[in-house]
């Protein structure tokens, strides 16, 4: 339902450090994803926030060299940067050489492998966060019963008949309301990264 690719125009705009709107949009979309990835790897909240800034800085310096033909998808490229920053943070944070005890073993377990399955989790988390962002952006455009018709049938998977009874509407009205919200979702996603 959500466009899985980042808009080319947004990526191109990031090459200009003065493109404040593009950077604000990029930050709004990807900051929560980078933050959750860092937290999932065991970083404290403050450290994860620092890591977000580090990733943003690297993206700002390297985005001009991003080539989808060489690097793959933008999110894959961003995940690689994020993963490398997490690994660097974990190895830097350890300080003096360890004794080989369980701290070192724990560090090795936290270190992402090159074929890390969290790359697909990164994509799933992106889709979940984008859905939440778009839902928050468009919800105010609809009356509560229209939004509930959509939410209860499309998201919570209740039957149209049950939702119609619950809201005191006809099944046709519930279908129409759901359709209107879904059309707005499609429109919003078509314009979003």
Please state the rounded mean pLDDT for residues 139-165.
90
Task: Please determine, for residue 22, whether its predicted confidence score (pLDDT) is greater than 80.
Answer: yes
The reply to whether 154 and 169 lie within a common domain is yes
Q: Which residue has the higher pLDDT, 114 or 151?
A: 151
Please state the rounded mean pLDDT for residues 81-109.
64
**CB atoms closer than 10 angstroms to residue 166:** 13
Please state the rounded mean pLDDT for residues 169-188.
90
Task: Please determine, for residue 74, whether its predicted confidence score (pLDDT) is greater than 90.
Answer: no
Task: Please determine, for residue 175, whether its predicted confidence score (pLDDT) is greater than 80.
Answer: yes
Burial of 146 (0-12, 13-18, 19+ CB in 10 A): buried
Cα–Cα dist 150/176, whole Å: 9
The reply to whether 129 and 63 lie within a common domain is yes
Percent share of the chain, pLDDT over 90: 19
What pLDDT score was predicted for residue 13?
83
Give the number of domains in the chain. 2
Query: For 108, how many CA atoms within 13 A lie in the half-sphere containing its CB?
Result: 7
Q: For residue 186, what pLDDT band results from cuts at 50, 70 and 90?
A: confident
CATH number at residue 185: 1.10.10
CA dihedral 6, 8, 11, 17 (to 10 degrees): -140
The reply to whether 76 and 160 lie within a common domain is no
Q: For residue 173, what pLDDT band results from cuts at 50, 70 and 90?
A: very high
153 with 171: CB under 8 angstroms?
Answer: no
What pLDDT score was predicted for residue 116?
59
**CB atoms closer than 10 angstroms to residue 119:** 17
The reply to whether 20 and 72 lie within a common domain is yes
Q: Which residue has the higher pLDDT, 141 or 130?
A: 141
Task: Please determine, for residue 176, whether its predicted confidence score (pLDDT) is greater than 90.
Answer: yes
The reply to whether 94 and 108 lie within a common domain is yes
Task: Please determine, for residue 111, whether its predicted confidence score (pLDDT) is greater than 60.
Answer: no
pLDDT, tens digit (0-9, with 9 covering 90-100), for 24-42? 888 888 898 898 888 888 8
The reply to whether 3 and 31 lie within a common domain is yes
65-72 long-range Cβ contacts below 8 angstroms, 24+ apart: 66/11
Q: List the helix and strand counts (H, then E) for the chain.
A: 10, 0
The reply to whether 151 and 132 lie within a common domain is no
Please state the rounded mean pLDDT for residues 80-95.
78
- Mean pLDDT over each residue of the chain, to the nearest integer: 79
1 with 131: CB under 8 angstroms?
Answer: yes
Task: Please determine, for residue 1, whether its predicted confidence score (pLDDT) is greater than 80.
Answer: no
The reply to whether 27 and 91 lie within a common domain is yes
Please state the rounded mean pLDDT for residues 75-104.
71
Q: Which domain holds residue 57?
A: 1-137
> Per residue in 14-50, is it b (16+ CB within 10 Å) or e — as a string?
beeeeeeebbebbeebbbbbbbbbbeebebeeebbbe
The reply to whether 133 and 149 lie within a common domain is no
Task: Please determine, for residue 125, whether its predicted confidence score (pLDDT) is greater than 90.
Answer: no
177 with 150: CB under 8 angstroms?
Answer: yes
């Amino acid at each position: 339902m959500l466009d899985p690719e980042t808009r080319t125009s947004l990526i191109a705009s990031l090459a200009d450090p003065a493109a404040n709107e593009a950077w604000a949009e990029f930050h709004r979309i990807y900051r929560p994803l980078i933050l959750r990835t860092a937290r999932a790897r065991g970083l404290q909240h403050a450290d994860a926030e620092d890591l977000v800034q580090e990733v943003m800085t690297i993206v700002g310096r390297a985005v001009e060299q991003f080539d989808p033909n060489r690097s793959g998808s933008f999110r894959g490229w961003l995940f690689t940067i994020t993963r490398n920053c997490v690994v660097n943070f974990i190895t830097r944070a350890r300080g003096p050489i360890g004794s080989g005890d369980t701290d070192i073993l724990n560090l090795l377990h936290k270190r992402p492998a090159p074929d890390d399955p969290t790359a697909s989790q990164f994509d799933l988390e992106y889709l979940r966060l984008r859905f939440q962002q778009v839902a928050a952006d468009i919800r105010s455009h609809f009356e509560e019963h229209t939004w509930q018709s959509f939410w209860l049938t499309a998201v919570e998977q209740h039957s149209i008949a049950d939702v119609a009874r619950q809201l005191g509407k006809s099944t046709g009205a519930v279908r129409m309301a759901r359709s209107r919200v879904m059309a707005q979702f499609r429109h919003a996603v078509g314009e979003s990264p």
